[in-house]
Amino acid sequence: MTTLGKIIAVHSYKGGTGKTLLSANLAATFVKHGKKVCLFDLDFRAPSLSTVLKIEKVECWLNEYLNGTCEIDKVLIDLSDRIQNSGKLFVGLANPSTEAMRDMSAKDRKWEMRALGRLLALRNSLLNDKGFDYLIFDTSPGLQYSSINAIVGADLVIVATTLDRSDVDGTKRMLHELYDLFEKKTDIVLNKVLHDVYSQPGKEELHVKIKDLYQAPLLGIIPCFCDVLKAEGSILFAQERPEHPFAKILDEMATKIDNMA
């Protein structure tokens, strides 16, 4: 079992914590660093990557791969031309039609078990055989089958959280009652932060507070950027605004992940 690539699941307790924004931009950052990356939309209840990435033509949805009616090769869409530099970016999309969402929400335990098997098989087919460096799973918030499947299949779980009180409480519970139980390496990304993170003392104070609060490693802190919100989730900052502080934070996160054993 010697794989060089890594599978990362981006998850959160609550919705709207920035999972999709983080997943898409982290994928783009890895590609800028020359990596071969595939980003998967595993949020079958509310798919969003097809909109965020403005993709209209899809041969096969990820839903079909998990159903066992389509090979993974047909699901992958090559978006490498959208990112400069030497890496490669592929995506696998969830079907956003109402019918598909309804169909996915009605799956039984046996189906979910087989879906887990197909997700686990991606390690072999994509990381080992096709030489991908990273697979990034963008998931549904909370305790959803598809999300837990993604967590079980991942090497690293990135939990996007805010300082919203109910989010903090829920995230703490999930750390101990979900990720820990599966013995997953879990890192926190604190998003939409309004505290002072630009001065060194302010930054350090927040670091201590977060580590105290969650008892888990902190991958990064993202301040609340009005222009990120203004972009309405349609910009890959890592690519289109490389000078933006958000892109710089992503750079640091990607480097940290690269250096993980």
Partner 1 sequence: MVSKQEVLGKRPLQILEKIRENLERLNDKMEVMIELQKHGRKDFQPLPETPLDVMTLLSMPDHLRKTAMTLCRLGRATAEEISQQTHRARAVESAYLNQLVIMGYLKKERKGRKAYFYIEKESQG
**Which positions lie near partner 1, rule CB under 8 A?**
1, 108-114, 116-117, 120, 145, 148-149, 151-152, 178, 181-183
What's the CA gap between 260 and 185, in Å, rounded? Answer: 11
- Single out the residue of 135, 180, 142 nearest to residue 160, CA to CA: 142
Quote the least distance from Cβ 119 to partner 1, whole Å: 10
What's the CA gap between 12 and 64, in Å, rounded? Answer: 25
Quote the least distance from Cβ 95 to partner 1, whole Å: 22
Quote the least distance from Cβ 143 to partner 1, whole Å: 9
Quote the least distance from Cβ 177 to partner 1, whole Å: 8
Quote the least distance from Cβ 178 to partner 1, whole Å: 7
The full DSSP string for 187-245 is EEEEEEE-S--SSHHHHHHHHHHHHHHH-S-EEEEEE--HHHHHTTT---HHHH-TTSH
Nearest CB to partner 1, comparing residues 102 and 109:
109
CB atoms within 10 A of CB 62: 26
What's the CA gap between 61 and 143, in Å, rounded? Answer: 23
Q: What are phi and psi of 10, to 5 degrees?
A: -105, 120
- Locus of tokens 């299949």: 153
- Single out the residue of 173, 203, 180 nearest to residue 190, CA to CA: 203
The answer to whether 40 touches 95, Cβ cutoff 8 Å, is: no
Nearest CB to partner 1, comparing residues 117 and 233:
117
Quote the least distance from Cβ 42 to partner 1, whole Å: 13
Nearest CB to partner 1, comparing residues 18 and 153:
153
Q: Which DSSP symbol is given to 68?
A: T
Nearest CB to partner 1, comparing residues 39 and 116:
116
Tokens representing residue 93 in the block: 């999309």
End-to-end CA separation in angstroms for the chain: 15
Nearest CB to partner 1, comparing residues 65 and 90:
65
Nearest CB to partner 1, comparing residues 60 and 151:
151
CB atoms within 10 A of CB 95: 20
Quote the least distance from Cβ 113 to partner 1, whole Å: 4
Q: Which DSSP symbol is given to 80?
A: G
Nearest CB to partner 1, comparing residues 181 and 194:
181
